[in-house]
Amino acid sequence: MDFTDISKNLPNGENMGGIAQKVYFGFWNDVQSWPVKPSTPADIEENGVLTGSVEMKAGKRMFEMYITDDTGEFNVESVGEVDGKSYVLHLNLFHPGMQKKILGFMNAAKNDNLFFIVTDAEGQMYLMGDEMRPAVYQGAPDGGGTGRETAARKGMSAEFTYKTGNVYVYEGTVPLTEATSA
């Protein structure tokens, strides 16, 4: 792989912050196959993208979750010592309300292995999870509950993290329906 020039590249001048108001998720154990990381990329652009899609096992599917605007964040943290650098990807989100579905999700997710697909404001997606590591619940940095004042925001926040050697764009599909055997 050779380096290439990296120019200012903002198609249509778009470069808005934040993430979309939907994140996609599923159980890590329900994944049949994962997209492939670049092994012998031709250039640096190819070195930043996964090939293929997350394929679910028969009878299993991915799901979507609504999050309040301006509460979601996808963050890339660099970690490790010299010659041992890697990344921890963070997803923070806030779901409004304390309905049974979100409480049930939190109950199930807090100690289970998950994966997430996060979409940024330009529609570019990032996958948190691979065949070796899932995304896991870390806590609720923005809290959760009813709030104190009547003007407070009631709901549940959550943070999920995923450790990875590299960061990639996900260009696969997200079927929100069950996989079949054929």
Structure tokens at 176: 């929100």
Structure tokens at 140: 């609720």
Q: Which of 102, 125, 127, 136 binds another protein (CB under 8 A)?
A: 125
Residues 6+ apart with CB under 8 A from 69: 18, 21
Structure tokens at 30: 């329900």
Q: Least distance (Å) from another protein to the CB of residue 37?
A: 18
Q: Least distance (Å) from another protein to the CB of residue 66?
A: 14
CA distance 153 to 101: 18
Instruction: Write the interaction track for another protein spanning residues 57-96; mark x where CB under 8 A is met and - where it is not.
Output: ----------------------------------------
Compute the residue count for the chain: 182
Q: Closer CB to another protein, residue 84 or residue 123?
A: 123
Decide: is 17 part of the binding site for another protein (CB under 8 A): no
Name the one residue in this structure whose structure tokens are 């979601």. Answer: 72
Q: Least distance (Å) from another protein to the CB of residue 91?
A: 17
Decide: is 175 part of the binding site for another protein (CB under 8 A): yes
The DSSP letter of residue 173 is: -
Residue 21 β-bridge partners: none
Segments in 71-120 forming alpha helices (H): 100-109
Name the one residue in this structure whose structure tokens are 């304390």. Answer: 98
Decide: is 177 part of the binding site for another protein (CB under 8 A): yes
# residues contacting another protein (CB under 8 A): 16
Q: Closer CB to another protein, residue 38 or residue 144?
A: 38
Q: Under the rule (CB under 8 A), what is the footprint of another protein? A: 24, 53, 55, 123, 125, 171-180, 182
